[in-house]
Amino acid sequence: MSTASEAVGSSAGTAADTPAPPRARLLSLDAFRGFDIVLMFVVNLSAASAAFPKWFQHAGWNNGKHGLWLADLVFPWFLFIVGAAVPWSMTSGRGKGQTTAQRIGAAAKRALTIYALGILIFIAKTAKDGLDGKGAGKPGTAIAFETFLHWDILPLIAMGYLVAVVVWHAPRWVWWVVLFGILAYKHVSMPDLTVTEGLVRGDWMKSRTDLDHATRALGFVGTGITQGLPASACCIAGLIVGEFLRASTFSMVRRGFVLVGLGLVATGLSMLWASAGKMPMSKDFLTSSYVLFSAGSAAALLGSFYLVLDAWKVLRWQGSLITAAAVGGFLLLCIALTVTGGAGANATPSALNATVIALCLVMTVLLIGAVWQRLKDPHAKAEAKFLTIYGSNAIAIYVLAELTWTLVWLHMRVVGPGSWGGQHAFTALRLWLEAGLNGLMAPFADEASVKALAAGLAPWASTAVYVMVYFTVAWVLWRKKIFIKV
């Protein structure tokens, strides 16, 4: 009977000692990566419209209550995915056949490239400061030395990736020590966040005397410690899971169930930590409970993808049915959170109606697709192509989306229905879709009902168009076998 230590090899050895299986990539990992990118698009655009439940957004300060909403999971999930890919990359990808020094050197170069792309995105955003007419005589923020010392999404991913690669070369027991060492340090360095409810964030920040705040005050290096280390912990958690899937002696099905089970246990422990340990979940402060919940939920999701795509290898039409069921489950979650006021935010009736209709339409398309696939090719295996195509060039698509959002979608002005001076391109898209839905549904209901329904569905429709625009780019790259290795 296999033991847990046997599942990932001897704890005294390093991952480099364990031979890789013949398969170099996990379909489930690519699918999860693509899912995270699509989710990022949805939650980012949800902030622009009341048609989405408020809890789709970031919880943020939340009147001092903190919390964890849907958008707060996108970033740590991607960090987890980056870490999970490291064992595969080091043994059968980028690092295959290289020495330790060569692997770490290559990882450092890649991390620097990712960091530079993050700075490019930051410059593109800050260059627009003052261009809205509110900052007369200030055509954008000038680039200075400090501009290149900025921690954001990609720079933190770069740091997490490099740390994960370095840690991968150490004995496995070191992985756990580093992971829990970071979580413990973050916990003891933070103040009691349960006493901030009702406080003004700016006033509270000025009154802080804790270690985390003192460290952050060190500037670039301090933020690298307070933000970069927890981000690295997410990557290390992914690293541990990736190595388990790569080197475990368990059957593939057993690996999947173990991963789902341990992921759920970790999420449960994180909630206990948040309540009993006076450490609310907070993306703003990357609290230990938040990191543990993110890693646990990511493990459970990856385990689910792994079971469906890699272990069971379900048929394509079955995959569509499973996806439809997952969307239905998410719909029930939306309704439950709205009714109970869970997640710290309640959706308005109009937002709930739009959400229900939009998700029901998605389920309908999936069910029709399942029937079509069953009739066309009943023996075809599920490949989750929509997600894996997105996941095959994830960072490239992310960079493209961030740059074009700033330089195109928000910069170009397009005339919308009833507008005189034009609207931002994305707003104009939503208005045109709303007008089209109004015309389409006008014969079937009274004017007030049609307007309300169109106003609720148009943001969902514009989000779908946005997702498909970048999917088209990803599909062209995938079709031409162009995989941009950032």
Residues 224-248 pLDDT 10s:
999 999 999 999 999 999 999 999 9
Q: Percent of the chain having pLDDT more than 70?
A: 90
Q: What is the pLDDT of residue 96?
A: 79
Tokens 């059957």 belong to which residue?
A: 251
- Rounded Cα gap, residues 62 and 193, in angstroms: 12
**pLDDT tens per residue across span 290-330:** 999 999 999 999 999 999 999 999 999 999 999 999 999 99
Q: Nearest Cα to 128, choosing from 119, 120, 138?
A: 138
Percentage, residues of the chain above pLDDT 90: 66
Answer yes or no: is pLDDT of 16 > 70. no
Read off the pLDDT of each residue in 237-266 and give the average, rounded to a whole number.
Answer: 96
Cβ neighbors of 357 (< 8 A, separation 6 or more) are: 453, 456, 457
Distance CA 458, CA 435 (A): 9
Contacts with 427 (C-beta within 8 Å, 6 or more apart), sequence order: 48, 416
Compute the C-alpha angle 198/202/208, nearest 5°.
Answer: 90
Q: What Cα–Cα distance (Å) separates residue 139 from each residue in 129, 181, 332?
A: 7, 45, 47
Which segments within 120-257 are labelled E, that is strand? none
Nearest to 348, CA basis, from 419, 452, 224? 452
d(C-alpha 259, C-alpha 307), whole Å: 10
List, for residues 184-218, the tens digit of each pLDDT value.
999 999 998 988 989 999 989 988 989 999 998 89
Of 2, 41, 131, which Cα lies nearest the Cα of 463? 41
pLDDT, average across residues 469-479: 97
For tokens 């937002």, name the residue: 351
**Residue 124 burial (CB count, 10 A):** 17
- Predicted pLDDT at 140: 67
* Res 36 pLDDT > 90: yes
> How far is the C-alpha of 210 from the C-alpha of 278, rounded, in Å?
15
| Residues 447-453, mean pLDDT to the nearest whole number | 85
Evaluate if residue 346 carries a pLDDT over 90. Answer: no
What is the C-alpha separation between 393 and 473, in angstroms, rounded? Answer: 10
Q: Are 350 and 357 in contact (CB under 8 A)?
A: no
CA distance 217 to 227: 12
pLDDT of 64 > 70? The answer is: yes
Q: Please indicate, yes or no, whether the overall pTM of this predicted structure exceeds 0.85.
A: yes
The token pair at 226 is: 């307070």
Q: Spell out the alpha helix ranges (H) of 406-446.
A: 425-441
Residue 253 near residue 312 (C-beta atoms within 8 A): yes
The answer for residues whose C-beta is within 8 angstroms of residue 127's C-beta and 6 or more apart is 140, 141
Residue pair 414/428 in contact (Cβ under 8 Å)? The answer is yes
pLDDT tens column, 350-393: 677 888 999 999 999 999 999 999 999 999 999 999 999 999 99
* pLDDT digit string, tens, across residues 417-427: 876 667 888 98
Q: What does pLDDT average to over the chain? A: 88
The tokens describing 95, both together, are: 């690092």
pLDDT at 355: 87
Point out which residues pair with 315 in neighbouring strands: 381
Residue type, 392: S
- 194 class by beta-carbon count within 10 Å (0-12 exposed, 13-18 middle, 19+ buried): middle
- Distance from C-alpha of 64 to C-alpha of 51, rounded to nearest angstrom: 25
Query: Taking 90 as the threshold, does the pLDDT of residue 142 lie above it?
Result: no
**What is the C-alpha to C-alpha distance for residues 384 and 370, in angstroms, rounded to an integer?**
13
Distances in Å between the Cα of 32 and the Cα atoms of 70, 88, 249 are: 16, 15, 23
CB < 8 Å & 24+ apart, contacts of 452-455: 452/350, 453/353, 453/354, 453/357, 455/51, 455/350
Most confident residue range from 12-21, 166-175, 204-213 = 166-175
Average pLDDT, stretch 8-30?
59
Return the percent helix, strand and coil in the chain, to nearest 5: 70, 0, 25
